Structure 1
Amino acid sequence: MNKTLSVFGLEGKVAVVSGAAAGIGEACARAFAQAGAAVMLSDIDVAACERIAAELNEQGFEAKAIRLDVTSEADWQALTVVLQDWKNRWDVLLNNAGIYIGGLLENNSSAQVSKINQVNIESVFLGTRTAVECMKPNAMFGHGGSIINLSSIAGLVGVPGHSIYGATKGAVRSLTKHSAVEFAKFGYGVRVNSLHPGLIETAMGDQALQDFVDIGVVPNVDEAATLLKSAMIPMGRLGNVQDIANAALFLASDASSYVTGVELTVDGGFCAA
């Protein structure tokens, strides 16, 4: 067992990660487990979560898989029942599940807007509401906790072909700040922060690069990546899932106990340039 022992340790904590079947969600779930947390991996692709959980358990960590449609109130409530039976505790929620729909605004449809709003905004609301109802004083678990919402730099700055996606991520940023202040003012002991990745080397990141080609910004994906790394990202590289997992680990841990309502950009300096 190669447990991560550091100031960002999560020993004794129970974490839930949505969208944990691949990409950033999987990396964060692994990082949380390696830092000592018991991790519930949730996704509509429960088979992938079961595979990852089995691997983590074989390595000596604690993990459990559950099917979760993040747009379903019933699924969120069912998750709390499983948590109660499994560990009777809940300390961390990573609202990671989301989808990407790109394209020029003039070509986006109302159906696309409705779909991306449901998955990227309503799910974060449902997850946040469910978690705080369980974490606040005198609730089911009542230990307080940390809620981390995955936003994007597209929720902070304008990016061609990202209008409706960026709008949802901007809403996640705003929901994070309002809920953070509300929970602090009412003494819930629940912190809420947003993570804003830049372009990350994942399937969704690949889709975003292809979208730059499709809308005519660049002729091919290789040129899109080169342009970003040479002219738009001061650190000169795309991000990887571990970059985001490390930031999530900080926000999940007690090392960030005085941090709430922040937007943490992990973008190689893109937004600072």
Structure 2
Amino acid sequence: MSEGLLVSNLFSVKDKIALITGGGTGIGKMIALAKELTEMGPGKCFGIEADLNSKDACEKLVADFKNFGNDKLDILINNAGTWNAATVTNVPEDEWDRIYNLNVNCLPLLEKASKKPVDPSRVIIIGSICALGISSLLYSSSKSAVHSVSKNLAVHLTPRGVNVNVLAPGVIPTVPRGPGINDIAISEIPQGRLGDELDMAGAGLYLASRASSWVSGVELVVDGGDLLQYKLTNVQRLQTP
């Protein structure tokens, strides 16, 4: 059997260098956890303070990354983003720019800033199943834009040897939620549980490794079947007299 078919080789990211944005809270923190990961070894992790709301900020992040002695970048995980639960009737005007700047506009800016000599071979962009259904106006529309931008980046970057994919998670609690909120979410998920850090890490490892070398421009949904249940509910609603 070819050594390339060994699971340990297919999913290995040994000696790879990754830059993960949005590591301060939420899913990014699950992936990053710099101190704990460094202590586990054999690699090392470090944190870079950044606010990705402008072109200059994205360029500074990449410059700071290089200043740590990194002359290459194998994996870029775009996870920086924010949430707003505003509906159609109560969207604060100034929130549009804030949400779209962080969730959407930073994607091409960060990609452009990280071109050679640190051009990554894997770009993983954190989207959401909200982009594939109906949720709060600002968040779901911004994540829909994230998915669209990602596909366009894939078209332009894949011929350059850069695979671009979207990781679209379902309900993964990253901050405390109100009483009963998790129970409601669980009741709507076919697998009967919320997602956790292992679910995200496993999917992220697949997209970052040799196992996904012929995968680019896809939306990998990790939601315990939540999106299917959402579609089934809509079908049942349409069929109800």
TM over 0.5: yes
Residues 202, 241 of structure 1: 8 Å contact kept: no
Partner-residue secondary structure (3-state), 2:51? coil
Q: Distance in 2 between matches of 1:240 and 1:199?
A: 9
Q: Which residue of 1 aligns with 2:100?
A: 117
SS for the counterpart of 1:63 is coil
Question: Displaced runs of 4+ in structure 1, greater than 4 A?
Answer: none
**Hey, what does 2:121 align to over in structure 1?**
145
1:25 to 25, 28, 46: 28
1:126 corresponds in structure 2 to: 109
> Out of 47, 51, 73, which is 1:90 matched to?
73
Post-superposition offset of 1:229: 1.8
Amino acid at match of 1:93: L
Q: Pairwise mapping of residues 1-273 of structure 1 onto structure 2 (< 5 A)? A: 7-29=10-32, 52-60=33-41, 61-85=43-67, 86-131=69-114, 134=115, 139-142=116-119, 144-159=120-135, 162-184=136-158, 187-203=159-175, 206=177, 210=178, 221-222=179-180, 224-230=181-187, 232-273=188-229
TM-score by length of 1: 0.75
Q: Give the letter for the 1:269 counterpart.
A: G
SS at 1:192 equivalent: strand
| Residue matched to 1:46 | none
Q: Distance in 1 between matches of 2:65 and 2:106?
A: 19
Q: Is the 8 A contact 2:35 2:45 kept in 1?
A: yes
Cα distance in 2, alignment partners of residues 103 and 77 from structure 1: 31
C-alpha distance in structure 2 between counterparts of 1:158 and 1:87, whole Å: 41
Separation (CA, whole Å) in 2 of partners of 1:80 and 1:202:
26
Contact kept, 8 Å, 1:83 with 1:90, in 2: the verdict is: no
CA distance in 1, matches of 2:39, 2:82: 31
**Contact 1:105–1:163, Cα closer than 8 Å, also in 2:** yes
Aligned-residue offset at 1:6: 5.9
Please report the RMSD computed on the Cα atoms of aligned residues, expressed in angstroms. 2.0
The answer to whether the Cα contact below 8 Å between 2:48 and 2:65 also exists between their aligned partners in 1 is no
Three-state SS of the structure 1 residue aligned to 2:221 is: strand
Which range moved further: 79-88 or 174-183?
Answer: 79-88
Deviations along 1:174-233, one digit per CA (max 9) or x if unpaired, are 01111101222xx21011111111111111x73xxx5xxxxxxxxxx41x4333322x21
Larger strand proportion of the pair: 1
Count of residues paired in the alignment: 221
**C-alpha contact (below 8 Å) 2:9/2:210 kept by paired residues:** no
List runs of 5+ in structure 1 lacking aligned partners.
30-51, 211-220
